A and B are shown apart, each in its own frame.
Chain A
Amino acid sequence: MKINIFSNKKINRSLGGNMLLLLALTLFGLFMALPFIYAILQSLKPTQEIFAFPPRFFVSNPTLDNFYMLTQAIGDTWVPMGRYIVNSALVTVTATAGNCLFAAMAAFPLAKLHFRGNRLVSEIVTYALLFTAPVTQFPKYVIMAKTGFIDSYWALFLPPIAMPLGLFLLKNFMSQLPDSVLEAAEMDGASIYQTLWRVAIPNVKPALLTLIILTSQEVWNGAGASFIYSEPLKLLPTVLNQIAASGLARAGVGSAVAVVIMIVPVSVFILLQSKVIETMAFSGIKD
């Protein structure tokens, strides 16, 4: 067997196997993406095609009418649309950045340091991930109301900052960091905070990028929307969905809305996921 250490070629792979694999993955991938593609095609259909019988998958006379009608409806809103875009951008960025930073800070000692209570905190975080029942919505609402967070920006970005998913993800990845790497930083006189910032965080970059994808998507899609009543505080997807649902039986506008809302999570995903894969270039973490 030939080993190509210097090329990008993987070892232990046969050409036939690779071709078969690519074919199978493409076919299955297309099936997975089908509703996504359908949503886009649907938004490009003129009204008579949306209600055509038999219903068709592809669009024969693509049109931007649905998007045009959407922009008109947007122009009619009481609060200018720019406000909602700023709201959404601000909340998504703050919550995601806060979640990544706080989760990384908490994950590091849990993964790598000895201290009293480590096991307890780790277990509680894991259990909290399992307690997803919708009933906590009610106590949560009461707590938020008592502190005056309801109907404020706080309600939108504070809870996602403390989502346990990120802590759990980063802790699991950090536990894989070889101790020798951390000890080397210590030898160089780095404080524990410097080790976190300069060694631990850069070495879990794939996990961190993944976390940004997951958190931003959750916040963008309106994780905190049920705590907000005032129009000017609402987030973009909430408002767009209101437009799609209001009067006019707008099937076409509805599909346009679905596509517009997806633009941000899709862009974030494509941008960051290719970076996750790029980190390959540095190869894995070595002991």
Chain B
Amino acid sequence: MKKNIKTSLVRQTRTLDPYIMMAPFLILFIYFTIIPILSSIALSFTYFDMIHLPQFIGLMNYTRMFLEDDVFIKSLSNTFVFAVITGPIGYIMCFVFAWLINDLNPRIRAFMTFLFYAPTISGSLYVIWTFLFSGDSYGFINGNLMRLGLLNEPVQWLSDPRYILTIIMIVQIWLSLGASFLSFIAGLQNVDKALYEAGAIDGIRNRWQELFMITLPSMGPQLQFGAVIQIGASLSVGTVAIALAGYPSTDYAAETVITHIMDVGNLRYEMGYASAISVFLFVLLLFTHFILRKVLRKIARD
């Protein structure tokens, strides 16, 4: 693979051109994304109940997280379990399915992509799972297991702490074929076909060798993109947990950092504390991102 050296289009480019090209996006981006993020960081050092003016309290929100808030610790450990299991599985699924689908005849390929992307398409289709796992005997899974005689009485799938976390993980994995999956599909279209021909002449024998010697090394940018999306998704489980397990869940069995933030911020109006937790989560995400970036650089020879 050639290296992507930043181009020498310098002669045609005036110094200001790059800034002019970025200006429309960046102005809106700063306004709607950067300023809110910076405000949350600032608020994380305050006590703020949304009624009185924020009061500066130093690092107290941060010490409270670890010293006084048991539910936070619980939510952190849940989030880790989620991320460690759903993150890698989701990421690998996105790539493997994109790669396998890419082998199909173009007509079947579009249809197959649709089947796999279907979970993500409506934005809230996952609520169907609440009907499937519904705790009464009319729930699809309970009803049918009872009819088959495998259960005597309905199981409270979504309010029994023994099952909640597992079910949310299944749904989260089912939901993971989203933006990164589509970017892999698109990225595979961009790989230079001549490389495959050259590879075959050079003695590549099967699809596995081809994958590791040609396909993966050509997809560095897409792999990076997918990693960022997947890290974000796996450490930010929240809406799915709330939709399935309720808010708050039984014994906080499905409490994640995100649901804890919502609980503290939207229900208890402790915006300062909620912001501090978000900042902490952000640092966690950054840390994961840096590690993964190093690993991916090796795979993709970026």
Contacts and interface: CB of A to CB of B under 8 A. Distances in A.
A25 interface: yes
Given A12-B206, A124-B34, A131 B12 contact: no
B71 interface: no
B258 to A, nearest CB: 7
Nearest to B140: A55
Interface string A64-103: 0000000000000000000000000000000000000011
A139 B35 contact: yes
A53 B143 contact: yes
B236 A54 contact: no
Given A12-B206, A162-B28, A274 B12 contact: no
A277 B29 contact: no
Contact of A129 (B10, B229, B266): B229
Interface in A106-128: 106, 108-110, 112-115, 118, 121, 124-128
A133 interface: yes
Contacts of B174: 32
A133 B258 contact: yes
* Of listed B179, B231, B261, residue having the most chain A CB within 10 A: B179
Given A143-B35, A172-B221, A186 B21 contact: no
B9 A195 contact: yes
Contacts of B105: 8
Interface string A130-153: 111111111110110000000000
B278 A133 contact: yes
B128 A165 contact: no
B161 interface: no
Contacts of B266: 134
Interface string B17-54: 11101101110110111111101100100000010000
Interface in A2-21: 3, 5, 8, 10-14, 17-18, 21
A210 B183 contact: yes
B200 A169 contact: no
Chain A: number of interface residues, binned into ranges? 35 or more
Interface string A156-182: 001101101101110011011111001
Contact of A38 (B15, B104, B128, B182): B128
B193 A131 contact: no
Contact of B232 (A109, A118, A132, A265): A132
Contacts of B243: none
A184 B147 CA distance: 70
Given A3-B201, A115-B19, A173 B192 contact: no
Interface string A34-60: 011011000000000001011101000
Contact of A109 (B17, B189, B265): B17
B227 to A, nearest CB: 10
Contact of A277 (B103, B189, B190): B189
A109 B187 CA distance: 20
A51 B136 CA distance: 12
A270 interface: yes
A280 interface: yes
A265 B285 CA distance: 30
Q: List 8 tightest A-B contacts by C-beta distance, closest first.
A: A162-B28, A172-B221, A133-B278, A29-B115, A109-B18, A139-B39, A206-B186, A221-B123
10 contacts: A25-B112, A53-B138, A55-B143, A106-B21, A130-B286, A192-B17, A210-B183, A210-B185, A269-B114, A273-B110
Interface of B: 2, 4-13, 15, 17-19, 21-22, 24-26, 28-29, 31-37, 39-40, 43, 50, 97, 100-101, 103-106, 108-110, 112-126, 128-129, 131-132, 137-140, 143-144, 146-147, 174, 177, 179, 182-183, 185-187, 189-197, 199-201, 204-207, 209-210, 221-222, 224-225, 228-229, 231-232, 236, 238, 258, 261-262, 265-266, 271, 274-275, 277-278, 281-282, 285-286, 289
